[in-house]
Structure 1
Amino acid sequence: MAAHGRRVRCGERHGEMKTIFITIFQAVEAKNILRTSVATALLRDPDVALVCLVPSEDRKAYYEREIVHPRISYEVLSPEPRGLAERFFSMLKFHLIRTATMDLKRTLRRADGGSALGYAMNLAANRLLARPFVRGIARSLDAHVVTDRNVERVLRDRKPSLIFLAHLFDDLEISILREAKRLGIPTIGFINSWDKVTARCMIRLLPDRLLVFNALVRDEAVAHADMPEERITLVGIPQYDYYRTTVPRARAAFAAAFGIAPERRIIVFAPNGRYSARADGAMIDLLHGWIEEGAIPNAALLVRFQPNDAVDRREIERRPWLIYDIPGKRFGSERGGDWDMDERDLARLRDTLAHAAVVVCYTSSLSVDAAVFDRPVINVNFDLVRIPKRSESPIQYYGMTHYQNALATGGIRVVSDRDSLLAWINRYLEHPECDAAGRERLVRKQCHVCDGRAGERMAARILETL
């Protein structure tokens, strides 16, 4: 689709070039936009150019090598040093939404040794301030008091036609949104994950339009971000388009790449990361032991680590028998946004899910990925070892708002002891169709429409705004 909803015919003269700024400050933004049909669909319009704002020269050089197109450029944008007003509103945003997830985080901090007084004051402030009219006052003050001259200068110099903000919980992206509003530049926001509205903070400022995965996130954006429903569009999950539009590698070739005998059924276990390393290691050993002793017959264990967290290589070295995959490229040692998954990583994830017999994990979005492939999903709700800090136990997080929504579909089997885990693994191996209706509901609720065209819907909505 061309700009203004008009198709460009062969030989027709192109119009004025439209420049879209896209924020790529987090890895998930690149995964959802640059590595999906969002970017390719936008660039089908010959009058559109994309300028991707990135956090550093290293990241600019990386993306210039990885994702190349004559109408994609990368520009480093850094914020001004944070003044008092910016620091205040950046702190305030965590107190102005009231959700089960935010309450859970507060409780875990207290359980891990936080002060009783701090807990009580935080809770009282939240109950007093987490109201729409307070958020409205905060947004009005935020919009008028806080400034970022560096961002303003870039926007004035480059004069983008539109700004697409894919992580509205980031303070730098809010600075961009604020200055764009002052300059009259149209803005579109995107909620790029299923948990952020209820698990992160208040959205400090609201864009002109908002794109979301599904009706659940739309309703959360109305309730907790005060976004008018008529300004929200449901588009689906763009990174799942890849699952619908590409063909997995042949099973024999996939198994051979990991040294797995082709006749063995693959049990995929997905650890939660360094914060739950004690629990993850014990679960790997338990699953491996069951397979070795024949309690899970004719099976192989494949451990897929998270792409957004470092892996303790010592734990791997202690298990020379371990078959594992460490996807992604990490740019730093901190868990979170400083990572990327290239085309090979994305293909290997697709193939892993396509050829898994059962997926075992804790609270993870991989549960939804697996359901897209109609693969049985088991979530573990028990600890095998004593874990001193409650926040480091992965079973503490089933009460999160977004995960309760997923569990309500019946598409994820939660087990609370070893015997149940073993029994359900073997049952799913023999009857993979079990709970298929629940998995279909899970996909429908989380993906809105999983038809391989979410990226095109996003691009169409962006182009309509130009």
Structure 2
Amino acid sequence: MKLLIVMQHINFFRNLDTVVREFDARGHETVMLHGTRLDDPGTKARVAAKKQKMVFMGRGIGVAEEGLASLTTGYRPEPEEAHQQRLRTGRLVMNRGIYLRKGHPSPERTAEKGGLSPRMIQYTKSPLVRAVLRRPLALRAWRRIEAANRPSASVTSVLRDIQPDVVLVSPTVWPKKPIEADYIHAARKLGIPTVGYLNSWDNLTSKGTVHVLPDVFVVWNEALASEAEELHSIPRSIIRVTGAPHLDHFFESEPSLSRAQLCHQLGCPDDRPYIVYLCSSRTLIQDETHVVTRLADALARQHPERAPMIVIRPHPVNPGPWENYDHPGTTVFPKHGDQADTPESWQEYFNQLSGASCFVGLNTTAFLEAAVTDRPCLTIVSDEFFDQQGRTGHFRHLLAADFLEVSADVAQVATRVGRVVDGVDEKAAWRRRFVQEFLRPRGVETSAKSVVADTIEALVPEARASVAPQDVQPDEPVVLAAREGS
């Protein structure tokens, strides 16, 4: 069986790493196309420059390709036709309009430019246009327009050359260049089963919408399934709940260093506990040094004899604020930031988190990874950070799960840290329930990668032949007959 994965960017490989390795273990072949053109001199220079600040740039996919004979990677061509460019403009408008939908947690995102021209931005500000865009009917009508257009000849040619059995597009929701729809549309016209895939838990509330429905849409959990259905009009019958495959690394890891070795690596003493401050994306908050400084000072005041060290883990794409940071009671690791995207970097990340007494942060995906290590997670919810928390759709999942220990200010966080170090873990039951429901809803002992692989395998012609007609709804995409010779 041959799986084609189409990604927006080379670094998105980390979200599919475990799935690719599972496919290899099952004897399947994977072709992975990404949108980072490494054969272009200009792009090579930009990638080299980015590697100075992002050491992980392209690392994960390179390591996997070296170790997996079943994996082939390359550039993902973009549609060349003029009508595809016009469709792209329409997609950007629909991406903007999705935030107007009733119940969307981030309506202020309609103010974002999103790649639109000034003229189109003004157009979408019209009260009449906004009234139309907020209705579910607008998205259904747009999907019919997409379906009525002929598929991209250049994308169709790529698919014919590769001849995959299944096409998986990741992410299926993306605001900048929503060409994922072109690959899904072309694949469906060729009778190739398609899989929609989310890179992260925030995609459905912050990255636009789904323009062409795939045959199967993969989400982590029931909460995201509800978002897909209610905000994006994705039929529940094509949604598959699998868990978060990339976190299989954490579920399957054990500490690989002694306490002394770990503390030496992190740059902190091994005779007292440490906590990890998990930094947020720069799109949420560009500089958190003032928060950490205040926290370190509060810990020193409240616990002068036993204040734990703060180990700061910079956000992978925002290490800048920490390059010259130096304050008593703190250390930074990794110094230049890192993104877990190889078995080795995932292990290093797991070691760092599993040795901590607890975690502190504002709004970060790292809270999900931290929860897997089963340590208390602390945050500050206040007016100071309302834009970073209250205006984001995904943070509400953390609050709804009620596993975060919430404080109103840094002083309260320092008090809670002292209680945690003394062994108090008041949110343990809620945290474990969150892990089970949000990250591994098919069972804590069931790997998400295996569920995703099963879902993909079920789409091959032999499996599809047994699907009962009543399982297909009128408004859903219908997988066409198997290609000749497949």
2:245 match: 238
Looking at structure 2, the residues matched to 270 and 441 of structure 1 have their Cα atoms a distance apart, in angstroms, of 21
Looking at structure 2, the residues matched to 133 and 32 of structure 1 have their Cα atoms a distance apart, in angstroms, of 32
Pairing 1:451–2:445 present: yes
Contact residue 65 and residue 73 of structure 2 kept, 8 A: no
Cα 1:271–1:340 shift into 2, 3 Å? closer
One-letter amino acid matched to 2:353? L
CA drift of 1:89 comes to 2.3
State the SS of the aligned residue for 2:255.
coil
1:102 match: 106
Contact residue 22 and residue 50 of structure 1 kept, 8 A: yes
Cα 1:370–1:225 shift into 2, 3 Å? same
Looking at structure 1, the residues matched to 335 and 31 of structure 2 have their Cα atoms a distance apart, in angstroms, of 27
Pairing 1:130–2:134 present: yes
Cα 1:108–1:357 shift into 2, 3 Å? farther
1:33 match: 16
Pairing 1:460–2:454 present: yes
Q: Could you list the per-position Cα deviations for residues 397-430 of structure 1 after superposition, in whole angstroms to 9, with x for gaps in the alignment?
A: 2343332122122201221123322221212222
Cα 1:107–1:421 shift into 2, 3 Å? farther
Cα 1:383–1:146 shift into 2, 3 Å? farther
Q: How does 1:72-83 map to 2 (within 5 A)?
A: 72-81=71-80, 83=85
Contact residue 93 and residue 202 of structure 1 kept, 8 A: yes
State the SS of the aligned residue for 2:315.
coil
TM (norm. structure 1) is: 0.82
One-letter amino acid matched to 1:23? V
Contact residue 243 and residue 452 of structure 1 kept, 8 A: no
Pairing 1:162–2:166 present: yes
Cα 1:41–1:312 shift into 2, 3 Å? closer
TM (norm. structure 2) is: 0.78
CA drift of 1:147 comes to 4.1
One-letter amino acid matched to 2:169? L
CA drift of 1:135 comes to 0.9
Cα 1:275–1:402 shift into 2, 3 Å? closer
* Equivalent of residue 289 in structure 1, options 264, 282, 297: 297
> Structure 1 stretch 297-306 or stretch 339-348: which is displaced more?
339-348
Looking at structure 2, the residues matched to 19 and 400 of structure 1 have their Cα atoms a distance apart, in angstroms, of 38
State the SS of the aligned residue for 1:317.
coil
CA drift of 1:242 comes to 1.5
Cα 1:266–1:174 shift into 2, 3 Å? same
CA drift of 1:318 comes to 4.4
Looking at structure 1, the residues matched to 423 and 110 of structure 2 have their Cα atoms a distance apart, in angstroms, of 41
Cα 1:86–1:107 shift into 2, 3 Å? closer
Looking at structure 1, the residues matched to 140 and 265 of structure 2 have their Cα atoms a distance apart, in angstroms, of 55
Looking at structure 1, the residues matched to 86 and 333 of structure 2 have their Cα atoms a distance apart, in angstroms, of 45
State the SS of the aligned residue for 1:193.
coil
Looking at structure 2, the residues matched to 134 and 61 of structure 1 have their Cα atoms a distance apart, in angstroms, of 38
Consecutive unaligned residues in structure 2, runs of 5 or more: 39-46, 48-56, 461-486
CA drift of 1:181 comes to 1.4
One-letter amino acid matched to 2:366? L
Cα 1:274–1:402 shift into 2, 3 Å? closer
Cα 1:147–1:279 shift into 2, 3 Å? same
Looking at structure 1, the residues matched to 95 and 172 of structure 2 have their Cα atoms a distance apart, in angstroms, of 12
Looking at structure 2, the residues matched to 218 and 239 of structure 1 have their Cα atoms a distance apart, in angstroms, of 18
2:148 match: 144
Looking at structure 1, the residues matched to 133 and 88 of structure 2 have their Cα atoms a distance apart, in angstroms, of 19
Looking at structure 2, the residues matched to 200 and 193 of structure 1 have their Cα atoms a distance apart, in angstroms, of 10
Cα 1:133–1:265 shift into 2, 3 Å? same
Runs of 4+ aligned structure 1 residues displaced above 6 Å come to 117-120, 327-330
Contact residue 329 and residue 340 of structure 1 kept, 8 A: no
